[in-house]
Structure 1
Amino acid sequence: MDPHLQAMVDAQAKAAEGQPPPPLDALPPEMVRVGYRMQRKASDQNPPQAVDVRDLWVAGGAGEIPARLYTPHGAAAATGGLVYFHGGGFVIGDLESHDGHCRRLAALAGVRVLAVDYRLAPENPFPAGHDDALAAVKWAFDHAEDIGFDRSRIAVGGDSAGGNLAASTALALKSDPERKVAFQLLLYPGIWPEQDTASRQALDGPILTKQAIAWFDKCLAAQGHPQASRAFLGKADCAGVAPALVVTAGYDPLKDEGRDYAQRMVAAGVRAEHVEYPGLVHDFFLMSDISPAVGEAVKETAERLKAAIG
């Protein structure tokens, strides 16, 4: 593991000695969300400032939902655009937890980023978040001129659960001639395979633990739902979906499903690239202050995004 991240993990373990955290089921979801937001903002306090930020409302699956538009300073009237969905197991995370990350993507790739604050489980069980994601991407296409997006260069992206939302939305729109997704940016995506991968079985943390994954699954309540295939993408037909970059981390339970999804896209004739950072951990894109290795990974990812839609 990257030594800086190892030091962070060790410090967290030492701080928890003798005081094991209560089970997630014992805490109100909002308390977990506040803790996550504080933790992630504390590890990313120096995002680029050369970005204009505007809060707005976009279409969701059951009414308008909040969103945030990031525009690099000096951007042309129309640029490539990334509709971005934050991670957090469909339960935690928000515009604030991922603010620095979205600023960084916009600034380094030179594209506009529209971050979407989709509805969270368990208050809004499946498929609320997926409905919001699909509606928001359709809204971005239909209002591209209003937000400075070039309709021919609109990508979807997200990290962890947000990567699931992005991939699911790209699959839903692959046959829509009016809304042709140009690219997928899938950062350690949760593909939610029907059977646990080797990495899900072997790795219990750091960052993403088996307890957390089980809690996310329970809150989402997608298992057995008539539309469950929108979240469980292990058997999705990838033929015709947009080109993709899939980024995984070596110390992440989700690494195998991300790799496998990239391989399935390639097998279906899709131009997909898989990049793994073997020394990094789940959620590393939100930890720029922790390790220089994160900054390098972010730059390399942003370069690929720029090449795709910049």
Structure 2
Amino acid sequence: MAQPLEFVPPSVVGGFLRVVFALPGPVKRLIAGAPVVRDGQRLALDAQVLLRLLRLEGESLGAATPAEARRGLARGSAMLSKVPARPVRTREIAIPGDVSARLYTPAGLADGSPLLVFYHGGGWVVGDIATHDTVCRYLAVHAEVRVLSVDYRLAPEHPYPAGIEDALTAYEYAVENAESLGADPGAVAVGGDSAGGNLATVVGLFAERRPAFALLFYPATDMSVRRRSRELFGDGFYLTDEDMTWFSDHYCPEERRKEPRVSPLLADDLSGFPPTYLVTAGFDPLRDEGEAFAERLAEAGVPVALRRQEDLIHGFANMWSLGGRFQEAVSEAAGALRTGLALHRGGGTREPGSRG
């Protein structure tokens, strides 16, 4: 059945969203309904309003086919297409090995800046450079970095390990060609959200040269087991249990899901992983596996800052343009990236250890 907003142009829906989010708090509370409290956490009003509006839109991450799911995510991204006020120049990059990428350079950023190699989320099945354009622009501007956004191959057309192969190829290219990209070859970081966070994590473990820093938004780190957060938040909070099963089944056969390149939490040794800022969302099925990975990093002696944005939902990085709690959380992550890279360039990191 068609939903009320399904056939409205995304630019119109986006304008409507911004009007709603500019309303006074009491009015937004009327739209959202009674506060939602679960696992000792209270859902942010901004997140609750958005979830209510997404139900009107009929948006779901999964769909009957990958093509339908990709169209749905593209439509959702078009609704949230605001960009930072500071101009950002973009350039398409063709990486040997048939991997495409886009380089983001904020206006006025000097040559020799740090570089973030970014992998978009989308369950290894949906998403692309365009769906995460605003996230990359925001990080570039607010972390004072160049960002290389990678268009890795997607399942089911290209199942595991194709995406990982592309992720490693793009990172190695970035390190080897940093100067031609205008960046410091000694300050190349990796980052990503959700499935992209998984790819960034795998690169951090298996790349020949350790990244300078890892910025991980609610990463998928263990496909082998179900954790408590998946039971608590697997329905009604944007990313669902059904979505996760749909993505996993398209990406990787069950018999390979314990391999560290699928489930990096299961790697034997994490001591060589780069310094990390890992942020989870309180109302996210992926919360517990992300936090378990941060705990293992700490046990391995890796400098790691774990931050739970306990009142937010999966995907908040893509929602920064709505302001409020979404933008606050992404601003904090951008600040952590900027600080972490500054410490690295100041000589505050360890020598690489062994690989996982």
Query: What TM-score comes out, normalization by structure 2 length?
Result: 0.80
1:58–1:139: 8 Å Cα contact kept in structure 2? Answer: yes
Post-superposition offset of 1:289: 3.0
Deviates more, 1:256-265 or 1:31-40: 31-40
Give SS of 1:228's match. coil
The 3 A distance-change label for structure 1 pair 157 and 23 is: closer
Deviates more, 1:185-194 or 1:98-107: 185-194
1:81–1:309: 8 Å Cα contact kept in structure 2? Answer: no
For residues 216-251 of structure 1, what are the alpha-carbon distances to aligned partners after superposition, in whole Å with 9 as ceiling and x for unaligned? Answer: 011002432399320112311211211111001111
Q: Name 1:259's counterpart in structure 2.
A: 291
Unaligned runs of 5+ in 1: none
> Aligned pairs, how many?
298
Unaligned runs of 5+ in 2: 1-42, 343-356
Post-superposition offset of 1:183: 0.5
Within the candidate set 91, 94, 97, 2:125 is matched to 91
Find the aligned partners of 1:23 and 1:154 in 2 and give their Cα distance. Answer: 33
Q: Name 2:276's counterpart in structure 1.
A: 244
The 3 A distance-change label for structure 1 pair 21 and 245 is: closer
Post-superposition offset of 1:196: 1.1
Does residue 1:134 correspond to 2:168, yes or no? yes
1:5–1:291: 8 Å Cα contact kept in structure 2? Answer: no
Query: What TM-score comes out, normalization by structure 1 length?
Result: 0.91
Q: Name 2:112's counterpart in structure 1.
A: 78
1:44–1:288: 8 Å Cα contact kept in structure 2? Answer: no
Find the aligned partners of 1:221 and 1:246 in 2 and give their Cα distance. Answer: 24
Find the aligned partners of 2:119 and 2:279 in 1 and give their Cα distance. Answer: 15
Find the aligned partners of 1:48 and 1:266 in 2 and give their Cα distance. Answer: 37
The 3 A distance-change label for structure 1 pair 106 and 71 is: same
1:47–1:101: 8 Å Cα contact kept in structure 2? Answer: no
Q: Name 1:146's counterpart in structure 2.
A: 180
Give SS of 1:82's match. strand
Greater Cα radius of gyration, structure 1 or 2:
2
Within the candidate set 278, 282, 298, 2:310 is matched to 278
Find the aligned partners of 1:145 and 1:207 in 2 and give their Cα distance. Answer: 40
Find the aligned partners of 1:11 and 1:265 in 2 and give their Cα distance. Answer: 38
Give SS of 2:340's match. helix
Find the aligned partners of 1:91 and 1:278 in 2 and give their Cα distance. Answer: 27
Does residue 1:199 correspond to 2:229, yes or no? yes
For residues 184-228 of structure 1, what are the alpha-carbon distances to aligned partners after superposition, in whole Å with 9 as ceiling and x for unaligned? Answer: 101000112422111012212411011110110110024323993
If asked which structure has higher relative contact order (CA below 8 Å, sep 6+), I would say 1
Find the aligned partners of 2:333 and 2:321 in 1 and give their Cα distance. Answer: 17
Post-superposition offset of 1:308: 1.5
Post-superposition offset of 1:105: 0.1
- Which amino acid is 1:184 matched to? A
- Which amino acid is 1:95 matched to? I
